[in-house]
Amino acid sequence: MHLRHIALAVLVVAIWGFNFVVIKMGLKEIPPIMLCAIRFLLAAFPAVLFIKRPAVPFRKVIAFGWVMFTLQFALLFSGMQAGTTAGLASLLLQVQVFFTVALAVVFLAEQPSVWQIIGALTSFLGLGLVAVNIGGDVSILGLGLILAAAAVWGIGSLMTKKLGKVDMLALVVWGSLVAWPPLLLLSFFLEPNAWNLDVITHLSWLTIGAVGYIVYPVTLLGFAAWSWLMSHYPAATVAPFTLLVPVFGFTSSALVLDEPLYPWKVAAAMLIIAGLCINLTGARFAPRIRSA
């Protein structure tokens, strides 16, 4: 992998990791579902006017947008507001890898490898460590909502896989187009305070900047760059870079939000990331280990 492309991959995961800090900032003034609706409205317009619809049936674009964007991010943003730190949220969401594997076993009859099973068990030990430290930095509701978001991401990953080769940037833009109307409707019924005109007219520049960051570097630039990398290199080469997302999430949340790094957080992070490493690279390095 070319050094410039390695730098691009690291930049993307750094943007995604810092995004959890930015979401926390945005949630101080905008309720979670309304923030999601604004995100995907701005991600869709004006880009949808210039980017051709992906070459798949529109009903599949709707299904992708509603699952991957509407449901997943409504759960994630709500979970972060309900009581989960930015660093923990960036870590917990990564268990989507194992939900994807489990769903593929159930619905696609795929057989998990021994390494995937070992990786899952290792990561779920980390989740158990988070669960026994409920209170303070994490609530039961926040933990449950973020794990639900991870499960929905797993469903969305299977849907994306069944779409085959598709222009990911176009899918993101058109998926955003169909995602924001149901989010706006949900916000209308579940977040009546969000529809107070004073909320919108008195937003701070920090919140406006947070919305801009969530929309453009994270959603449009991030997905465009990532899909380009995935199209030029094997998935096994690019995918491990996502292991850095919680590293950047934990680091930036500690530096920007002064979130404490308790020993149990570090231990949970090490277990979950170790499990992800085993899942992603175990099968590749097993022959070398046996030969050694």
Cis peptide before 46, with omega less than 30 degrees from 0? yes
pLDDT recorded at residue 138: 81
pLDDT recorded at residue 169: 87
pLDDT recorded at residue 262: 83
pLDDT recorded at residue 174: 96
Task: Give the domain extent around 211.
Answer: 3-291
Q: Is the pLDDT of residue 284 over 80?
A: no
Q: Is the pLDDT of residue 235 over 70?
A: no
Query: What would the two tokens of residue 205 be?
Result: 């520049």
pLDDT tens for each residue of 76-134: 999 999 988 898 898 888 888 788 888 888 877 778 888 888 888 888 888 888 877 77
pLDDT tens for each residue of 189-233: 999 888 877 777 788 999 999 999 999 999 888 877 887 887 677
Do 37 and 180 contact (CB within 8 A), yes or no?
Answer: yes
pLDDT recorded at residue 187: 94
Number of folded domains in the chain?
1
pLDDT recorded at residue 288: 61
Q: Is 164 left (phi over 0), alpha (psi -120 to 50) or beta?
A: left
- For residues 15 and 23, what is the distance between their CA atoms, to the nearest angstrom? 12
Question: 142: Cβ–Cβ under 8 A, 6 or more apart, which residues?
Answer: 79, 80, 81, 82, 83, 84
Q: Is the pLDDT of residue 270 over 60?
A: yes
pLDDT recorded at residue 283: 63
Q: With bands split at pLDDT 50, 70 and 90, how would you rate the model's confidence at 291?
A: low
Q: With bands split at pLDDT 50, 70 and 90, how would you rate the model's confidence at 32?
A: very high
pLDDT tens for each residue of 153-186: 889 888 887 887 888 889 999 999 999 999 999 9
Q: Is the pLDDT of residue 237 over 80?
A: no
Query: What would the two tokens of residue 41 be?
Result: 């409205």
Q: Is the pLDDT of residue 286 over 60?
A: no
Query: What would the two tokens of residue 26 be?
Result: 């945005």
Do 77 and 27 contact (CB within 8 A), yes or no?
Answer: yes
Residue type, position 106, single letter: V
Do 86 and 23 contact (CB within 8 A), yes or no?
Answer: yes
Helix (H) or strand (E) holding 273: helix 263-291
Write down the pTM of the prediction: 0.87
pLDDT tens for each residue of 36-76: 999 999 999 999 999 999 999 999 999 999 999 999 999 99
